[in-house]
Each structure stands twice: as structure tokens, then as C-alpha cells.
Amino acid sequence: MALTQYTCFFMFMTLCSLLPLLLFFIE
């Protein structure tokens, strides 16, 4: 259970980190 929760947390942090970069490249 902990592994799944950690994976979701890691994916969430990665998405939040990459989202500004994606928006920057789109503009």
C-alpha cells in the first residue's frame, strides 16, 4: 500500500515540476 501511495506522490511532484516548463515551451 505504501509503495502505491509513494508512486502517486512521486508522479504528482513530477507533474507539478514539469507543468511550468511545459507552459513555458508552449508560449
Number of domains in the chain: 1
Residue 12 belongs to domain spanning: 1-26
pLDDT band at 3 (very low <50, low <70, confident <90, very high): confident
Q: Is the pLDDT of residue 1 over 80?
A: no
Residue that the C-alpha cell 509513494 belongs to:
6
Residue 2 is predicted with a pLDDT of 80
**CA pair distance 27, 9, nearest whole angstrom:** 28
Q: What is the pLDDT of residue 13?
A: 95
**Model confidence, pTM:** 0.51
Task: Round to whole Å and give the CA distance between 5 and 21.
Answer: 25
Tens digit of each residue's pLDDT (9 = 90 or more) over 6-27 = 999 999 999 999 998 988 988 8
